[in-house]
Amino acid sequence: MTRTLKKPSQDGFTLLEVMIALGIMGVIFTLIYGTFNAVHQGAEQMEEESEVYRLARFSLYHMANNLSMLHLQAPSPAATAGEGLTSAAFLGEDSEGQGDEGNAPQDTLQFNTVSHGRTSPEAPESDRATLRYALVDEMLVQEMLLSNGKTLSYEIGGPVQGLNFRYYDPTKQEWLDSWDTSTTGKPPSAVEIEMILKATGQKARRLKTWVDIPLGSS
């Protein structure tokens, strides 16, 4: 009987086929990594924007809450408060500064308030205080003069490109860009607060609210 020898099996991959397969797998993994990286960066940007808006909403609430408890009589040390704070019962000053998209409002506002809670851990509850809000290096800063003569300053939100206050005059029935009770004799009947927020890689966005001032309507 004659035995037939089998030819060696030709199954398997050539070196060229292996290199092509590896190349295709590299392209696929690159696309997958790019997709996940883009999603991760998008999530980080959204988280950053969310934090900016959260701080901005808190800042607006903080200012509105203190404005709603406006008190015209200043704490006794206000006349010698020093830099920033003055003895004015209500003083809104209109000014501009440079932002990423050109000129941006850089207004300041000072007023006296009676808080039903502690405006500072170092202030007695329901105490009078003189507050001043301004932008310093794109951060919203609150300066506070307590009735015991102590002055405090701290950041309450940011980054902020612009801060704009407007004041409603019930006599003229129009919004004004500045206000001083030393000349008007009383505060405005409402205050509009606008913050221009700075977000990485995004256009500046605006948040706005307004507060009724009962003392200005009487």
Q: What is the pLDDT of residues 96-138, one digit of tens each?
A: 876 655 688 999 999 988 865 444 555 555 567 889 999 998 8
Asked if residue 177 has pLDDT above 80, the reply is yes
Number of domains in the chain: 1
Quote the mean pLDDT of the chain.
78
In a domain, 169, yes or no: yes
pLDDT band for 202, please (50, 70, 90 cuts): low
In a domain, 61, yes or no: yes
Return the residue matching tokens 């007695």: 124
Q: What percent of the chain lies above the pLDDT cut of 70?
A: 72
153: tokens are: 């300053």
pLDDT band for 21, please (50, 70, 90 cuts): confident
Asked if residue 197 has pLDDT above 70, the reply is yes
Helix (H) or strand (E) holding 62: helix 15-67
Q: What is the pLDDT of residues 141-151, one digit of tens each?
A: 999 887 777 88
Which residue segment(s) compose the domain that 60 sits in?
48-217
Q: How far apart are CA 124 and CA 116, in angstroms?
A: 10
In a domain, 23, yes or no: no
Q: Which carries the bigger pLDDT value, residue 49 or residue 169?
A: 169
Q: What letter would DSSP give residue 4?
A: P
Q: What is the pLDDT of residues 61-79, one digit of tens each?
A: 889 988 988 888 765 555 4
In a domain, 55, yes or no: yes
Asked if residue 180 has pLDDT above 80, the reply is yes
pLDDT given at position 15: 77
In a domain, 29, yes or no: no
Which range among 40-44, 84-88, 160-164 has the greatest average pLDDT? 160-164
Do residues 150 and 119 make contact, with C-beta atoms less than 8 angstroms apart? no
pLDDT given at position 115: 64
Using alpha carbons only, give the angle 156, 180, 139 rounded to the nearest 5 degrees: 20
Hey, what's the torsion of the CAs at 153, 159, 162, 166, to 10 degrees?
-60
pLDDT given at position 100: 59
pLDDT given at position 120: 53
pLDDT given at position 13: 66
Using DSSP's 3-state secondary structure scheme, residue 97 falls into strand
In a domain, 31, yes or no: no
Asked if residue 2 has pLDDT above 70, the reply is no
In a domain, 126, yes or no: yes
Nearest to 129 by CA among 141, 147, 108, 142: 147
In angstroms and rounded to an integer, the radius of gyration of the C-alpha atoms of the chain is: 31
Do residues 132 and 143 make contact, with C-beta atoms less than 8 angstroms apart? yes
Q: Which carries the bigger pLDDT value, residue 205 or residue 64?
A: 64
Question: Which residues lie below 8 Å from residue 135, measured CB to CB, with a gap of 6+?
Answer: 97, 106, 141, 160, 162, 163
In a domain, 106, yes or no: yes
